[in-house]
Amino acid sequence: MIWASGLALVQGALAGEAGMVTVEQRTQSFTIILNGSVSEVTPLFGPVREAEWAPDWSPRFIHLVQGVQREGVVFTTSPGDGRDRLWLLTTYDVRNGRVEYVVVTPAFTANEIKIRVVPDREQHCKATITYRRSALTPAGNEEVAKLDAHWAEEQRIHWETAINEALAKGRRP
């Protein structure tokens, strides 16, 4: 987590010294209401089980090759924009409802994703998802700028709907 922010700061300092455009950083959060307990919901934010609610999710695991959900897992994704992303699962704590990633798109952006799941009534919970996106080069500034309130609302609706549908499917006889 710290190295991603540090790298963005170094890149920004170098860009400023060279008279280039400054690189940007932005943080945005959204909260979703989910129809399940913390222990039931938290695994759905892991790299393996995310596919249960995000049909286009297809990580390619580097460490651990078999694709388990635990701290230290490294994998890549290719979301279709031509920029592969390298992911590191830095926190995976189902009991305390915490999942955190560092995601790097080389020569473009460094990102932190922090997910915190807390109880909210019996068999319900709230998950707050926080993204910090840092441009590594001026080309990444446009991607950072997308992290706004409109983006957060679209994500909130999508994540809440998709995860609750996956939870409902899992309970059907």
- What pLDDT does residue 170 have? 80
What is the domain extent for residue 151? Answer: 2-171
The CATH number for 69's domain is 3.30.530.20
> Rg of the Cα trace of the chain?
17
* Contact criterion met (CB below 8 Å) for 147 and 131: yes
Total domain count for the chain?
A: 1
Q: Where are the alpha helices (H) located in the chain, listed in sequence order?
A: 2-17, 38-41, 141-145, 149-171
Q: What is the pLDDT of residues 13-62, one digit of tens each?
A: 444 444 557 999 999 999 999 999 999 999 999 999 999 999 899 999 99
Tell me the pLDDT band of 172, cut-offs 50, 70 and 90.
low
